Structure 1
Amino acid sequence: MPADIDQIIKKSQEACASTGAKLTSKRKNVLTALLTSSIPLSAYEIVEKYKNQFNEALPVMSVYRMLDFLIQEKLVHKLETSGQYMICAHITCDHPHEMPQFLICDRCHTVKEIGIKKQIMSELERGIQSTGFTLSKKQLELHGFCEHCQNKPR
């Protein structure tokens, strides 16, 4: 869980304002629900966490719309293989981000986000284009076991 949620929310509000968007109170609460989770959450898990954390019911379709907004504003990522959502690891950075790559632990479900260097992504794209294939999404999700889980008996 991030150390200073208030600072992250403030930075997120500023980022939204810089694009002419608004981080409404409900969007902020969805973002907070994700910030206070140690693992990615599905929209239905966010609905439940929202209800417990803010004592307010929220329709799942509203959560999906809010998540779409948060993704558009580059505050949240969607893990395509699981349909879950997580906070961008670079949510408070001021520098341009590299292409995200997600290392997903199949045991404890933690996710580590790392960037793919532009040179590597360009090489991948050239190789893919040479086959006649066109990418619709540029995101890598790799499954395995985190360092902590590697040291646990199975």
Structure 2
Amino acid sequence: MTKIQNIINHAEQNCKSHGSKLTTKRKQVLSGLLHADRAMSAYELVTYCKEAYGESPPPMSVYRILTFLQDEHLVHKLDLANKYIACAHITCDHEHGVPQFLICGDCQRVEEITVGKSTITNLKRKVEEAGFHLASPQLEINCLCNDCKDKAA
């Protein structure tokens, strides 16, 4: 069994424990994100499903599937890019902190990291001191991955 199939099996069991179902189409969309080395849009996932499974689901169906996968904590939405990425912690059984995303400005590769709760608490306090309300503690940080940095050198 492949690593991706193991992740999907774990995700399926996680959904069952919540009383929901990881249908075939949901597995296909999740598989697309797991195979990708970058974040993908709903339209890119439609293309992936057509190429990988010979089916071309309507974009609105893919958006509904992505919402389900988000609700199950299997994928994350990158708000600034309006793209999605598989959660790096699908197979973990313990709770994680707020995910943060390092996004390479050249190749669009995304890496999920977690920062400590104290950092998020401090961020929230600073935001409130500035007269704002933190709508989401998720950070999307524009970076340059080492591969792209080495290519540029």
- TM normalised by structure 2 equals 0.95
| Cα distance in 2 between the residues matched to 1:29 and 1:153 | 36
Q: Partner of 2:152: helix, strand, or coil?
A: coil
Cα deviations by residue, 1:67-110 (Å, 9 ceiling, x for unpaired): 00000100001111111111001111111111111000011110
Residues 1-154 of structure 1: pairs in structure 2 closer than 5 A: 4-153=3-152
Partners of 1:139 and 1:62 in 2: CA distance: 25
Q: How many residues align?
A: 152
Structure 1 counterpart of 2:47, which letter?
A: E
Compute the displacement of 1:132 (Å): 2.8
Distance in 2 of aligned mates of 1:13 and 1:97: 19
Shift of 1:49: 0.5
The letter for the 2-side match of 1:90 is: H
What amino acid sits opposite 2:119 in the alignment?
Answer: I
Task: Please say which of residues 44-53 and 129-138 is displaced more in the overlay.
Answer: 129-138
Alignment RMSD, CA only? 1.1
Amino acid at match of 2:58: P
TM-score by length of 1: 0.95
2-structure distance, mates of 1:45, 1:75: 18
| 4+ residue segments displaced more than 4 Å | none
What secondary structure is seen at the aligned counterpart in 1 of 2:113?
strand
Helix, strand or coil: the match of 2:94? coil
Which stretch has the larger CA shift, 126-135 or 114-123?
126-135
Structure with higher helix content: 2
Shift of 1:130: 2.1
The CA distance in 1 between the partners of 2:39 and 2:129, in whole Å, is 35
- Structure 2 unmatched ranges of 5 or more: none
Give the counterpart letter for 2:116 in structure 1: K
The worse-fitting range, judged by mean Cα deviation, of 94-103 and 59-68 is: 94-103
Same amino acid, percent of matched pairs: 46
